[in-house]
């Protein structure tokens, strides 16, 4: 148990579908992150939220839309995705102060397949 | 941006053997973390080690920040150590972990 949960664990969607990924952290952290892990590539940071405010968008296409209603919940809304968006999407949380990240804790990931 | 290189890319060990994984980075960092990703995709944080040496059971890590590298030591390896080991670093002033490409470890019985 890492204190960070993600749902669903697996998702198959068509290119015209709209779906959402959910992440919840029970660790009392103030920062949350979305990462993308594609086959044969390093983890790529997508978004960073501090105290519900987005502080980093790593040039992510607009078909990925994050939402952070509070410090414990993070969503990733997906629409009109492409097959190359198929990947493992990982959520993480940490304490963060003054632009510095403490130990990051990861959820189990959502394995997304776009047909 | 900062570059992170890990070596070796792949490693096969017999159970009980020791190993050393290396992480080189191209710029000064205020944060370095080692992670293990199990075959099911779960990433577990092993060490938060921007400098110095830490030990946790059979694992230990050393970061020499001035020379821009970190080492992860695994002693008496077990089959459950199999998976991918990632090093991730953060440039001073940026809240952004940059991951290396990982070392894939297979420990056979």
pLDDT tens-digit map of B28-51: 888 999 999 998 899 999 999 999
**Is B109 in contact with B15 (CB distance < 8 Å)?**
yes
Q: Tell me, what's the pLDDT at B93?
A: 66
B31 interaction partners in chain A (CB closer than 8 Å): 100-101
CA B1 to chain centre: 20
Contact yes or no for A102 and B48 at CB 8 A: yes
Shortest Cα distance, chain B CAs vs residue A63, angstroms? 22
Q: Closest CB to A99: pick one of B86, B94, B100.
A: B94
Closest to A104 (Cα-Cα) out of B25, B95, B85: B95
Q: Closest CB to B95: pick one of A101, A103, A105.
A: A101
A77-112 confidence digits (pLDDT tens): 999 999 999 999 999 999 887 667 889 999 999 999
| Close Cβ partners of B32 (under 8 Å, ≥ 6 residues apart) | B23, B25, B48, B49, B50, B63, B65, B70, B87, B88, B89, B90
Contact yes or no for B95 and A56 at CB 8 A: yes
% of chain A surpassing 70 pLDDT: 97
Contact yes or no for A42 and B100 at CB 8 A: yes
Q: Closest CB to A100: pick one of B4, B30, B44.
A: B30
Structure tokens at A58: 């790593």
Question: SS3 of A84, please?
Answer: helix
B4-7 sheet: strands from edge to edge = B4-7, B19-25, B69-74, B59-64, B52-56
């Amino acid at each position: 148990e890492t204190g960070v949960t993600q749902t669903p664990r697996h998702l198959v969607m068509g290119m015209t579908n709209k779906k959402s990924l959910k992440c919840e952290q029970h660790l009392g952290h103030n920062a949350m992150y979305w990462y993308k892990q594609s086959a044969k590539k390093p983890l790529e940071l997508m978004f960073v939220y501090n105290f519900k405010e987005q502080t980093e968008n790593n040039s992510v296409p607009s078909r990925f839309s994050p939402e952070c209603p509070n410090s414990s919940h993070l969503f990733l809304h997906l629409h009109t995705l492409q097959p190359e968006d198929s990947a493992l999407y990982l959520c993480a949380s940490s304490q963060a102060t003054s632009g510095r990240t403490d130990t990051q804790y990861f959820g189990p990931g959502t394995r997304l397949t776009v047909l | 941006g900062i570059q992170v290189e890990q070596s070796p890319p792949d490693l096969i060990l017999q159970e009980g053997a020791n190993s050393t994984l290396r992480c080189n980075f191209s710029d000064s960092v205020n944060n370095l973390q080692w992670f293990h990703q199990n075959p099911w995709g779960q990433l577990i944080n092993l060490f938060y080690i921007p400098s110095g040496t830490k030990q946790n059971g059979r694992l230990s890590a050393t970061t020499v920040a001035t020379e821009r590298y970190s080492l992860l030591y695994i002693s008496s390896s077990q089959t459950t150590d199999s998976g991918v080991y990632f090093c991730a670093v953060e440039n001073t002033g940026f809240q952004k972990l940059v991951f290396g490409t990982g070392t894939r470890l297979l420990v056979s019985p």
